[in-house]
Amino acid sequence: MKKIILSLLAAVAMPAAFAQFKCATDEVNNARIKQYPQIQVDMDQFNAAFDVYMKAMAKSNLAKTTAFGDTMHIPLVFHMVHNYGSEYVADTIVYQTVAQMNLMYNSLQPDTIDVITPFKKYLGKGNILFHLAQKDPNGNPSNGITRRISNLFNQGTDQAKIDGWPNNKYMNIWVVNTFDASHNGAAAYAYTPQSANGIPYYDGVISLASYLNTDNTISHEVGHSLNLSHVWGNTNNAGVGCGDDNVDDTPPTKGHNPVGCVPAALFDVTCATNYIRNGIDYPDTVNAQNVMDYTYCSKMFTQLQMARCRTALSAATAGRNNLWSAANLSATGILNTPTDLTPIADFSASKLWSVLGAVLPIAITFKNQSWRDTISSLQWSFSNAPSISTATNSSVANLFNAPGWVSAKLVATSNAGKDSITKNHYVYIADTAAIVPGNYVQKFNSADTNYFPCINYFENSFKWEYVNSVGYDDNSCIRYNNFDTRTGNAAKAGKPEFDYDDFFTPGFDFTNVPSSAPLTMSFYATGAYRSTTQTDVLDIYATKNWGITWTKLPAGSLTNNSLGNTGIKTTAYTPVGAAQWQLQSFDLSSYKGSNHVYFKFRYTPSVDNTDLGAGNHFYLDNLQITQFPLGIDASQLKGQQAIVAPNPASQTAFVTLVGLNNETVHIQLVDITGSVVASLQVPVQEDRKVVAIPVAHLAKGMYMVRVQSSTFNQADKLIIQ
């Protein structure tokens, strides 16, 4: 008894696990129709012509089982838009997906036996065969799969359709990890030929990796590409109201949400009672097992659906009729006997920044991600660690014995040959030796790349980089390259949206910063933006535990006008003159006492609706981490002097005493009437000492700060605001 209950539960639980399934095809196509009403006119024209065809078929009673002549061979290409995660789908999964499509489009899969009796005679045999391309658009050998790392891997949308191949030669299928917010809950979508006609670079299917081999998702989406509608039509949602798909042998239906092969769906007669079309008495049960329903019980297309697909493939709309032309079969090589292709070597790393392994077991793990053939051996080499040979182990861990950039190389060998890939400056190993911040100013000369590593996670043009032509007070600084230079159709995909990039500082030792002294980070920065939709962010993080966790500095973000302080610029922004630079500062007092603090600057470009990114270049220079107050340039600190800063002050004014070792210094704060409002006597032992004077409780206005010792006498104005 118990066993039966369990198996019943399992049967019901299966589709529930995919209750989120949503095909966004109607959403994206209806949006385009709204924008370009001509698409609906073209669609109506197609439907009218197909109606004529169906009438003729009904008259000659050929609508049921007659096989179609002329096999239509269709070249496919799958594009993995990835970050080396689960969306880096194995070749074998793609091969299985295509094999399953060919079964579905020809009703050859074993479970057609489960098709309910009334529909057995309408099983579609399209004589359409899909093949992975054997030649790419340049004629090079291919297995019909491409892989490209992209910041859009988890933000699937048309913008993620990078590297598309010509849509009149290949059906493009892009694979991503997740969709963006505008396709919330979607599993996949496709454009109909009429919609795709004006946007050839977006034509094709885009699907979540997790749905590639789930319930015929790709067969369903390719059905849309070949002009099939959902069985309930394309203007409402499944389960809402009776609708029709302009195909005679699929009865009108409300359609079904994912309920699985339950009797309520299989024998649903809603909307289909007494269904007769063009003189043929079709089943009075809906076709809940149709691939174009959401039932999660998909087992068939109908024969007229296949006729509709073949009609779409015979029309020039969106170049469909060229896909299976003799010239194209030759160009894409799909009918050639497949050859054993050499592998394509590739690998990823568990992280791209770490610190010397001597401190902690924080090895970087390198993962073999080679593809296109079965790998028989791997050879790893690293620029500052021993080489490693493995059979087919997928990962190697490495501890590095010297700080700095590491280049890594992988040679992957199969029976057909070998391939190698070298990733130069791929991971960075930070030194554990920390900087004591006394005079520290970073001016970003090119030699500093070895200490301030910039990591471009998605290997694109939007990244931190050193600049040797401009700076705050010299010709060097660091900039976030954020001006999108793509033009034409290239500008339709791969934008900076959802990218992020980091640069890292060396470690700092704050153990000897006196509790009374300030501890600040400051730098000069300037930027611009390209459109008012700019929402770029610069976040500054710190770690006290070798990068295991990073926390944002207090008030550690710059946005809007702090980043784009010079406003809108439609050309690539370059600052001219120091006046364009703004001083930014951050309180680091919560890091006092730590002996190894590393900082990370993360730039995140805007999320916006423009084809090109909304941001522009952002420049940063003279990064100072200091226990002296903000506003003091460490190069000033020589001879005998007292520096009052910040000035104006609002909370605390600091008097930095330089060269007054072994003296007792008197500091007085005097208001405009001559009254002494603060008086301190300070014994000084060190070359530089910072004295804090709280001023928040004092009236706003002008004051004098008098600093006197046996060898020194100075008075400075101080404004309290």
Question: Element (H or E) spanning 222, and its range?
Answer: helix 217-225
Q: How far is the CB of 230 from Zn ion (least distance, A)?
A: 5
Nearer to Zn ion, 291 or 519 (CB): 291
Strand ranges for 299-384 from DSSP E:
347-349, 353-355, 364-368, 377-382
Q: Is 707 in the site for Zn ion (CB under 5 A)?
A: no
Provide the minimum distance between the beta carbon of 25 and Zn ion in the complex, in angstroms, as a whole number: 4
Q: What residues numbered 552-591 form the site for Zn ion, per CB under 5 A? A: none
Nearer to Zn ion, 23 or 427 (CB): 23
Cα–Cα distance, 421 to 146 (Å, whole number): 16
The smaller minimum CB distance to Zn ion, of residues 176 and 521, is found at 176
Residue 164 backbone class (left: φ over 0; alpha: ψ -120 to 50; beta: rest): beta
Task: Decide whether 290 or 656 has the Cβ nearer to Zn ion.
Answer: 290
Among 15-23, 198-206, 255-263, 501-509, which window interacts with Zn ion (CB under 5 A)?
15-23
Contact criterion met (CB below 8 Å) for 596 and 430: no
How many residues in the shown chain lie near Zn ion by CB under 5 A?
Answer: 2
d(CA 473, CA 464): 20
Stretch that binds Zn ion, among 16-24, 137-145, 405-413, 614-622 (CB under 5 A): 16-24
Cβ at position 188, least distance to Zn ion in Å: 7
CB of 86 to Zn ion, least distance (A): 23
Using the rule CB under 5 A, is 304 a contact of Zn ion?
no
Selection from 646, 630, 655 nearest residue 719 by Cα = 646
Q: Residue 287 interacts with Zn ion (CB under 5 A)?
A: no
Closest by CA to 524, choosing from 631, 652, 449, 605, is: 631
Q: Are the CB atoms for 167 and 74 separated by under 8 Å?
A: no
Nearest-approach distance from CB 184 to Zn ion, in angstroms: 16
Footprint of Zn ion on residues 17-56 (CB under 5 A)? 23, 25
Least Å from the CB of residue 220 to Zn ion: 5
Q: Are 558 and 525 in contact (CB under 8 A)?
A: yes
CB-wise, 174 or 380, nearer to Zn ion? Answer: 174
In the complex, the smallest distance separating the C-beta of residue 294 from Zn ion, rounded to whole angstroms, is 8
Of the pair 25, 622, the CB lying nearest Zn ion is at 25
Residue with nearest beta carbon to Zn ion: 23
* Structure-token pair, residue 457: 């996670």
Q: Please tell me the distance from the alpha carbon of residue 89 to that of residue 419, in angstroms, as a whole number.
A: 20
Closer to Zn ion by Cβ: residue 25 or 154 = 25
Min dist. Cβ of residue 193 to Zn ion (A): 15
Q: Please say whether the beta carbons of 588 and 625 come within 8 A.
A: yes
Q: Is 286 in the site for Zn ion (CB under 5 A)?
A: no
Count CB atoms within 10 A of the CB of residue 465: 15
222 sits near Zn ion (criterion: CB under 5 A): no
Task: Sort 464 into a burial class: Cβ within 10 Å, 0-12 / 13-18 / 19+.
Answer: buried
Smallest gap from Cβ 265 to Zn ion, in A, equals: 17
Q: In which element (H, E) is residue 38 found?
A: helix 38-59
Q: Which of residues 470-499 bind Zn ion (CB under 5 A)?
A: none
How far apart are alpha carbons 57 and 237 in whole angstroms? 30
Closest CA to 533 of 495, 557, 508, 560: 560
Q: Which is closer to Zn ion, CB of 186 or CB of 645?
A: 186
Q: How far is the CB of 30 from Zn ion (least distance, A)?
A: 12
For residue 329, the surrounding DSSP H or E stretch is: helix 326-332
Write out the DSSP string of 664-704. Answer: EEEEEEE-TTS-EEEEEEEEE-SSEEEEEEE-TTSPSEEEE
Which lies closer to Zn ion via its Cβ, residue 23 or residue 614? 23
Residue whose CB is less far from Zn ion, 21 or 444: 21
Sign of CA dihedral 248, 251, 257, 261: negative
Residue 219, interface with Zn ion (CB under 5 A)?
no
Task: Return the number of the residue (23 or 412) whose C-beta is nearest Zn ion.
Answer: 23
Shortest Å distance, C-beta 257 to Zn ion: 13
Residues of this chain that bind Zn ion (CB under 5 A): 23, 25
